[in-house]
Amino acid sequence: MAFGISATAYAIGGSAILGAYSSNKASKAAKASADKLAAQGDAAAQLGRDQFDWYKQEYEKTAPQREAAAALDAKVGDAQYRGMELATQQAQELDARNKGVFRPLEDSIVADAKAFNTEGKREQLAGEALTDVNSAFGAARGQQVRSQSRYGVTPGSGRAMALDGQMTTAQALASAGAMTKARRDASAEGYARKMDAVGLGRNIVGNQISMQQVAQNAGASAVGASGAGLGATQSGLAIMGQGFGAAQNGLATQGGLTSAAGRMSSEASAQQTSALTQLGLGVGNLAKEYDLSMAKKATPPPIIQSDEGIKTNTGKPADTKKALAEVDATKVDDGWSYDESKGAPPGSGGVERTGPMAQEVRRTMGDRVAPGGRQIDLVSMNGKLMASMQELSKRVKKIEKRVAA
Q: Which residues does residue 334 pair with via DSSP β-bridges, in sequence order? A: 354
pLDDT value of residue 250? 67
The tens digit of pLDDT for each residue in 177-195 reads 877 887 777 777 777 777 7
Residues in CB range of 222: below 8 A, 6 or more apart: 77, 78, 80, 81, 84
Q: What is the pTM of this model?
A: 0.33
Apex 298 CA angle, 293 and 302, nearest 5: 70
Q: For residue 391, what is the enclosing H or E element?
A: helix 378-404
**Cα separations (Å) of 184 from 10, 122, 123, 290, 377?**
148, 8, 11, 153, 151
Q: Which residues does residue 353 pair with via DSSP β-bridges, in sequence order? A: 336
- Determine the Cα–Cα distance for residues 45 and 257; give it in Å rounded to an integer: 10
From 255, 244, 250, select the one nearest 54 (Cα to Cα).
244
pLDDT value of residue 46? 80
Which ranges of 62-102 does DSSP label H, i.e. alpha helix? 63-97
Which ranges of 297-368 does DSSP label H, i.e. alpha helix? 320-329, 358-365
pLDDT value of residue 54? 82
pLDDT value of residue 13? 56
The ranges of the chain with pLDDT < 50 are 1-5, 7, 10, 290, 294-301
pLDDT value of residue 2? 38
**Cα separations (Å) of 259 from 37, 252, 253, 264?**
9, 11, 10, 9
Residue 153, sorted as left (phi over 0), alpha (psi -120 to 50) or beta, turns out to be beta
- Determine the Cα–Cα distance for residues 301 and 297; give it in Å rounded to an integer: 8
From 214, 394, 255, select the one nearest 321 (Cα to Cα).
394
pLDDT value of residue 7? 46
- Determine the Cα–Cα distance for residues 196 and 280; give it in Å rounded to an integer: 123
pLDDT value of residue 273? 63
- Determine the Cα–Cα distance for residues 369 and 351; give it in Å rounded to an integer: 25
Q: Under a CB-based contact definition with an 8 Å cutoff, are residues 353 and 11 in contact?
A: yes
- 3-state DSSP: the chain helix, strand, coil percent, rounded to 5? 80, 0, 15
